[in-house]
Amino acid sequence: MIIVMSPGTKEKEVKQVENRLRELGFATHVIVGEEKTVIGAIGDKSALNSEGILNMPGVENVVPIMKPYKLVSRELKKKSSIIQIGDVKIGGTDLVVMAGPCAVESEEQLLEAAHAVKQAGATVLRGGAFKPRTSPYAFQGLEEEGLKMLAEARRQTGLAVVTEIVDTRDVELVARYTDIMQIGARNMQNFRLLREVGQTGKPVLLKRGMSATIEDWLMAAEYIMAAGSHDVILCERGIRTYETAVRNTLDISAVPVVKELSHLPIIIDPSHATGYAKYVPALAKSAVAVGADGLIIEVHPNPSRALCDGPQSLNPGQFNALMQDLHGLARFVGKRLPACSFHSEGQNRAI
């Protein structure tokens, strides 16, 4: 349910309504708009006496949310969310580019990639310390050593860091090092992991499962938000179809569909969507053209020697050329590539 407060309602009245909803067993989420404040009430609607709430001071209306996902829904929040991490804003008019290697292989490799993507205009560094692989014999990542290297790359470049979490046992560890917790496609419906990551309160990048519907995906985001993290970034990375020419099929229509259904920002991963570096620039540009809020792109100093996903990784020169093209395209669709550095208290914390 959505409790719509009257314009000019006092904070005290909002608190009274919120406290009453909690007494009735509802989880609440307050959204302060320019004109009105609304309170999202999540729980068993049969326990809600609408008349009683309507008669409370400052309440204008009580409106049901029809979608199965509540906190994620644009019914709850009409204005698109902007997630801020340091100086980086994901959503709104900024086109945020996250870039870096699929896997952290060594400090030298990671730092070379980090400086290259920073120079080209990326504002977030991606890199996997834990790698969920189809084969148990494939490279599985450097784990905590890789996380330490990501923290050092952040210190040197000022880039925010996004890295994947694959196991509930590692949530606290990964949360200490990263700025954005990534949930990969294979874990999109690992509901216990979603809850535990949500409880950290950190921003979460949620990739769409390879066989998931958009509703499945938004319900997974609901798990994270219901657990406590309201900073969720959705990532379309290609879905499984009968097509074999590319690794996955990029569902470009997911961008406008998600923007209609949800207030959350959505980015595109053209690297995993195609599996081939030669197709990445075209898919990246199409993502920007259709209104995506950002991109996450694999960049490796030497893709032919990469331990993970080399065929789909751009080299620094290719990435720089793509970023030059994206500058003009971003302006054409009313966005801009920000030129900002990330600053975090976490850069100076002892790890």
| Residue 343 binned pLDDT confidence (cut-offs 50, 70, 90) | very low
Return the minimum-mean-pLDDT range out of 60-74, 125-139, 271-285, 310-324: 125-139
H or E stretch at 236: strand 232-236
User: What is the tens place of the pLDDT at every residue in 253-267?
Assistant: 999 999 999 999 999
Q: What is the pLDDT of residue 248?
A: 97
**Is residue 281 pLDDT above 70, yes or no?**
yes
- The yes-or-no answer to whether 2-63 and 83-348 have a common fold is no
| Domain residue extents for the chain | 2-63, 83-348
Strands 160-164 and 124-126: parallel
**Is residue 347 pLDDT above 70, yes or no?**
no
Buried b (16+ CB within 10 A) or exposed e, 44-72: eeeebeeeebeeeebbeebeebebebbbb
252 alpha-carbon distance from chain centroid: 17
Q: What is the pLDDT of residue 341?
A: 46
Q: State mean pLDDT over 212-233.
A: 96
Q: What is the pLDDT of residue 64?
A: 87
| Residue 339 binned pLDDT confidence (cut-offs 50, 70, 90) | low
**Is residue 160 pLDDT above 80, yes or no?**
yes
Q: State mean pLDDT over 121-150.
A: 89
Q: What is the pLDDT of residue 237?
A: 98
Instruction: Name the fold adopted by 83-348.
Output: TIM Barrel (3.20.20)
User: What is the tens place of the pLDDT at every residue in 163-218?
Assistant: 999 999 999 999 999 999 999 999 999 999 999 999 999 999 999 999 999 999 99
**Is residue 309 pLDDT above 50, yes or no?**
yes
Q: d(Cα 124, Cα 118) in Å, to the nearest integer?
A: 8
24 CB-contact burial (10 Å; exposed 0-12 / middle 13-18 / buried 19+): middle
Q: State mean pLDDT over 327-336.
A: 94
- In this structure, the number of other CB atoms found within 10 A of the CB of residue 213 comes to 11
Residue type, 254: A
220 CB-contact burial (10 Å; exposed 0-12 / middle 13-18 / buried 19+): buried
Task: Give CA separation, 235 vs 124, 221, 272, in Å.
Answer: 14, 11, 11
Mean pLDDT of the chain: 92
Helix and strand numbers (H, E) in the chain are 11, 14
Q: State mean pLDDT over 11-29.
A: 92
The encoded tokens of residue 330 equal 């971003």
The encoded tokens of residue 112 equal 């070379």
Q: What is the pTM of this model?
A: 0.90
Instruction: Name the fold adopted by 2-63.
Output: Alpha-Beta Plaits (3.30.70)
**Is residue 220 pLDDT above 90, yes or no?**
yes
- In the three-class reduction of DSSP (H, G, I as helix; E, B as strand; rest coil), residue 133 is classed as coil
Q: d(Cα 35, Cα 194) in Å, to the nearest integer?
A: 33
Q: What is the pLDDT of residue 350?
A: 27
Q: State mean pLDDT over 334-342.
A: 74
Q: What is the pLDDT of residue 346?
A: 41
User: What is the tens place of the pLDDT at every residue in 35-94?
Assistant: 789 998 888 777 777 778 999 999 999 988 889 999 999 999 999 999 999 999 999 999
Q: What is the pLDDT of residue 135?
A: 82
- In the three-class reduction of DSSP (H, G, I as helix; E, B as strand; rest coil), residue 97 is classed as strand
Q: State mean pLDDT over 128-155.
A: 89
**Is residue 275 pLDDT above 60, yes or no?**
yes
